C-alpha cells in the first residue's frame, strides 16, 4: 500500500513540477508575467522565490494523495490538479509562442482569469468529468507528463 501511495504522489506531482519549470523558463525567455493568472504564483515569481512554488506543489500533492486514498469523495481533485498543471504548461507554451494570454479574451481582470483558469475549469468542470467518466488517473498523469515534457523542452530550447 505504501508503494502505491508514493507512486500516486509522484505521478500527480511531476506534472505540477513541470508547471513550475515552464513558468520559470517562460518568464526567463519572455521577460513577461502575463502568462500567469494566479495571484500567489505571480507574487512568488516577482519576488524570485521560485523554490516556494515547488514547496506549494508538494503540499498540494500530499493533500490530494490523501484525498485519493483516504477520502474518496474528494479523490476527483487529483484529476483536477493534474489537468490544472497540463492547462498551465500549455498556456505558458502558447504565451511563449504568441506573446498573448488567450484567457484575457474570456476575462478582463486577473481575478476573473484566476477563477476561470484555476478553479472553474480544473476543479468544477474537467476534474469531476474525468473522474466520473472513469479516466484512469495513472494513464492521465503519464499523458500529462509526456505532453508537458515536450512543451517545456520547446520553451527551453
What digits encode the pLDDT tens for the residues 30-72? 999 999 999 999 999 999 999 999 999 999 999 999 999 999 9
The predicted model scores a pTM of 0.95
Residue 146: predicted pLDDT: 98
Residue 151: predicted pLDDT: 98
Residue 43: predicted pLDDT: 95
* Mean of pLDDT over the chain: 96
Residue 40: predicted pLDDT: 92
- Contacts for 59 with CB less than 8 Å, ≥ 6 apart: none
Residue 121: predicted pLDDT: 97
Residue 16: predicted pLDDT: 98
How many angstroms from the chain centroid is the CA of residue 56? 12
Helix ranges (DSSP H) in the chain: 2-30, 39-46, 50-70, 76-98, 110-114, 127-132, 137-156
Residue 82: predicted pLDDT: 98
* CA distances from residue 63 to 48, 52, 69, 75, 151 in whole angstroms, order as listed: 26, 17, 10, 10, 27
Which residues of the chain are under the pLDDT cut of 50?
Answer: none
Residue 90: predicted pLDDT: 98
Cβ(122)–Cβ(83) under 8 Å?
yes
The number of C-alpha atoms within 13 Å of 45 and in the hemisphere containing its C-beta is 22
Amino acid at each position: 500500500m505504501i508503494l502505491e501511495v508514493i507512486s500516486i504522489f509522484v505521478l500527480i506531482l511531476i506534472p505540477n513540477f513541470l508547471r513550475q519549470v515552464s513558468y520559470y523558463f517562460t518568464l526567463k525567455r519572455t521577460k513577461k508575467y502575463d502568462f500567469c493568472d494566479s495571484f500567489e504564483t505571480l507574487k512568488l515569481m516577482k519576488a524570485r522565490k521560485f523554490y516556494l512554488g515547488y514547496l506549494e506543489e508538494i503540499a498540494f500533492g500530499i493533500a490530494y494523495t490523501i484525498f485519493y486514498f483516504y477520502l474518496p469523495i474528494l479523490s476527483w481533485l487529483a484529476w483536477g490538479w493534474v489537468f490544472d498543471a497540463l492547462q498551465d504548461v500549455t498556456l505558458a507554451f502558447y504565451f511563449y509562442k504568441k506573446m498573448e494570454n488567450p484567457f484575457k479574451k474570456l476575462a478582463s481582470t486577473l481575478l476573473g482569469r484566476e477563477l476561470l483558469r484555476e478553479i472553474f475549469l480544473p476543479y468544477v468542470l474537467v476534474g469531476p468529468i474525468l473522474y466520473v467518466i472513469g479516466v484512469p488517473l495513472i494513464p492521465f498523469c503519464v499523458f500529462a507528463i509526456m505532453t508537458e515534457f515536450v512543451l517545456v523542452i520547446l520553451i527551453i530550447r
